[in-house]
A and B are shown apart, each in its own frame.
Chain A
Amino acid sequence: MSEIDLVEANLALKEIHKLEGHTDRVWSLAWNPATGDDGHPATLASCSGDKTVRIWQQGPSGSWDCTAVLEDTHNRTVRSCAWSPCGKLLATASFDATTAIWQQVGLDFECVATLEGHENEVKSVAWNPSGTLLATCSRDKSVWIWEMQPGNEFECIAVLQGHTQDVKMVQWHPHLDVLVSVSYDNSIRVWIEDIDIDDWSSVQTLSKTSCGHSSTVWALSFSSGGDRMVTSSDDLTMKIWDTTKNPSEVSGDGNGSWFHLCTISGYHDRPIFSVNWSRNGIIASGAADDAICLFHEQKNDLVHGPSYRLLLKVKAHDMDVNSVQWNPKDPNILASASDDGSIKLWQLTGLP
C-alpha cells in the first residue's frame, strides 16, 4: 500500500485489547519479527520499571495472555527491549548498567548472556539488520557496539564517544549497517564502520545548525525503505529527514549526506517520547500528553518538498505514553505502553 487517499477516509484508532500485569510504568515494547509467520502467534515483549520483562502472545481465540515473565536478572528498571531479526533472541537493557540476552527454551526464557561495560543506566538496545551486531547506549554518553560470536558470546568491538550528554536511543538503518543515536544533548549522530581503520566513527551530526532539534531528542524511526527517518523531541516537534544517500558512499568533504525535510509541530504540547513508522507509511507518535497521533505524508504541489498531515489524535492512556510500535506484519495494529503500567493494542480502521 503506497498511496493512501486519506482525504475521504473515515479513520479511527480503536482500542482492541488492554494488557495489564506490570506493577510499574511500562517503558518499551517490541514485536517479535516472526509474529504472524506460519505457526508463530503474534508476540509482544514489554519492559518495565518493575524490573521485569513480560512476553505476551495472542491465542487462537484472539485473546492475549502473558506467557512469560523474565525476572530475577535485572535489579533495576528495564528500559528497553529488542528482538533479534530472526526472532530467537531478546535483548533487554537496564538501569543496572547491564544488557541481558534471553533465549526461549520451551515455554520459558533463559538468560544466556550478560553484557557489561557501560558505567551507568543503559537506555536503549538495537540489533543490526543481519542480527550480527548489537548496539547499546547509556547515560554515560557512549554507544557500545557488540558483535555476536558463536555460543552466544558477545565481544565489544567499538565504543563510540561523541555525544556530550545522556544517549536516549539507538536504531539501525533497516538494511545498511548504519547506526543512529539520539541524545539529551539535542543532537542526532550517524555512525558507520570505517574499513580502512577497522573502527567506527561518527560521519554526521544533525544538530540545531542542520535544522535539528532544540531540546532532548527522545526517539527515532526509519521508514521501511530506509529513505526517510523521523525523530521526536522535548521541543514538541517531530522532524523528517531524507536518508536516501548511503553515508559510506559519501566523499569525505565534510558535507554529510542526510538532510532535514520538514518539521511537524503543534500537535503535542508535551515531550514526544516515541515515534514509529509503519510499513504503510503512517507515523505514530506517543507523548507526555497521554496521546497518540498518526501522521501521513501529504503530496501537495503547492509546497516545496513533502509535508505531513495529522490523521488523528487520541487520548490513549491516563498517563504519559512511553512507546508506540506498529505490528510488523499487520500494519493496522499499533501497540502502546504507558506510565500507567498498561499496554494497549489498537486497530486502525476506516482505511479505504
Chain B
Amino acid sequence: MEPATTISTDFLESTVLLDQTLYDEGFRDGYRDGMDSGKEEGREVGLKHGFQVGEELGFYRGCVEIWKSAIRIDGNSFSSRVQKRIGELSELTENYPLSQPENESVQEMMDAIRIKFRIISANLGVKLEYEGNNLTNASKQDLEEI
C-alpha cells in the first residue's frame, strides 16, 4: 500500500475518494439545513409555548389584582381564609420563573397555582376558569362510569 504521508499527486485519488467526498458534502449540507429548520421550528414552538404560559399566568395575575383591589377598598370583602389564599396565589404568580423555561419545577409551580386558583374560585362561589387551548380540560371527554 502507498504510505499516507506522501504528497498525493495521484490523479486517481479524487476518483477513488469520490464516494467519501460526496458523502461529506451531503452531510454538511444536510446538517446545515437541519440546523436552520430546527432553529426555525424551535423558535415557533418556543413562541407558542411562551405565549400559552404567559397568557395563563397573566390570567391568574389579573384575577389576583382585582381581588386585591377589592380587599383594599373593603377589608371585609372576603373571609380571612380566602384573603390569605389570595395572598398566597399572588406570591406564587410573582415567583413563577418566567425567564427560566428550563427550570424543572415550572410544571409543579403551575400546577400549584392552578389548584390554589380553583380553591379560591370554589370558595367565592364563582365559575372562573382559564380557558385557553387547555390541556386540563381534556377530562370532559373521558367519561368514567364507575
Interface residues of A in 199-228 (CB under 8 A from B): none
> In the assembled complex, how far is the CB of residue A332 from the closest CB belonging to chain B, in whole angstroms?
31
Query: Interface size of A by Cβ–Cβ distance < 8 Å?
Result: 18
Could you tell me if A119 and B136 are in contact, using CB atoms closer than 8 angstroms? yes
Interface residues of A in 95-136 (CB under 8 A from B): 95, 115-117, 119-121
Could you tell me if B81 and A155 are in contact, using CB atoms closer than 8 angstroms? yes
Could you tell me if A157 and B81 are in contact, using CB atoms closer than 8 angstroms? yes
Could you tell me if A161 and B115 are in contact, using CB atoms closer than 8 angstroms? yes
Could you tell me if A159 and B119 are in contact, using CB atoms closer than 8 angstroms? yes
State the total of A-B contacts with C-beta under 8 angstroms. 33
Residues of B within 8 A of A156 (CB): 119, 122-123
Could you tell me if A120 and B139 are in contact, using CB atoms closer than 8 angstroms? yes
A157 to B145, CA, bound (A): 29
Could you tell me if B119 and A117 are in contact, using CB atoms closer than 8 angstroms? yes
B102, CB-defined interface residue at 8 Å: no
Task: From A119, A139, A144, A166, name the one whose CB has the most chain B CB atoms within 10 angstroms.
Answer: A119
A166 to B145, CA, bound (A): 12
> In the assembled complex, how far is the CB of residue A179 from the closest CB belonging to chain B, in whole angstroms?
17
B2, CB-defined interface residue at 8 Å: no
Task: From B79, B115, B136, name the one whose CB has the most chain A CB atoms within 10 angstroms.
Answer: B115
A115 to B144, CA, bound (A): 20
B72, CB-defined interface residue at 8 Å: no
A120 to B141, CA, bound (A): 11
A77 to B145, CA, bound (A): 9
What class of interface size applies to chain B in its complex with A?
10 to 19
Could you tell me if A139 and B144 are in contact, using CB atoms closer than 8 angstroms? yes
Could you tell me if B79 and A155 are in contact, using CB atoms closer than 8 angstroms? yes
Residues of A within 8 A of B122 (CB): 115-117, 144, 156
Could you tell me if A121 and B118 are in contact, using CB atoms closer than 8 angstroms? no
Give A119's nearest chain B residue, CB to CB.
B139
A119 to B141, CA, bound (A): 12
Interface residues of A in 146-166 (CB under 8 A from B): 155-157, 159, 161, 166
Residues of B within 8 A of A117 (CB): 118-119, 122
The binding surface of chain B is classed by DSSP as helix
A121 to B139, CA, bound (A): 10
A166 to B139, CA, bound (A): 13
A117 to B115, CA, bound (A): 10
Give A49's nearest chain B residue, CB to CB.
B145
Give A158's nearest chain B residue, CB to CB.
B119
A140, CB-defined interface residue at 8 Å: yes
Residues of B within 8 A of A121 (CB): 144
Interface residues of B in 108-141 (CB under 8 A from A): 115, 118-119, 122-123, 127, 136, 139
Could you tell me if B123 and A159 are in contact, using CB atoms closer than 8 angstroms? no
> In the assembled complex, how far is the CB of residue B122 from the closest CB belonging to chain A, in whole angstroms?
4
Residues of A within 8 A of B127 (CB): 116
Residues of A within 8 A of B81 (CB): 155, 157
Residues of B within 8 A of A120 (CB): 139, 144
Give B82's nearest chain A residue, CB to CB.
A155
Give A123's nearest chain B residue, CB to CB.
B146
A residues adjacent to B (C-beta < 8 A)? 77, 95, 115-117, 119-121, 139-140, 142, 144, 155-157, 159, 161, 166
B residues adjacent to A (C-beta < 8 A)? 79, 81-82, 115, 118-119, 122-123, 127, 136, 139, 143-145
The 10 closest A-B pairs by CB, nearest first: A117-B122, A120-B139, A156-B122, A156-B119, A155-B123, A156-B123, A159-B119, A159-B115, A119-B139, A116-B122
19 CB-based A-B contacts, threshold 8 Å: A77-B145, A95-B144, A115-B122, A116-B122, A116-B127, A117-B122, A119-B139, A120-B144, A121-B144, A139-B139, A139-B144, A140-B139, A142-B115, A144-B122, A155-B81, A156-B119, A156-B122, A156-B123, A157-B81
Other A-B pairs, 10, CB within 8 Å; known A115-B122, A144-B122, A161-B115: A95-B143, A116-B122, A116-B127, A117-B122, A119-B136, A139-B144, A142-B115, A156-B119, A159-B115, A159-B119
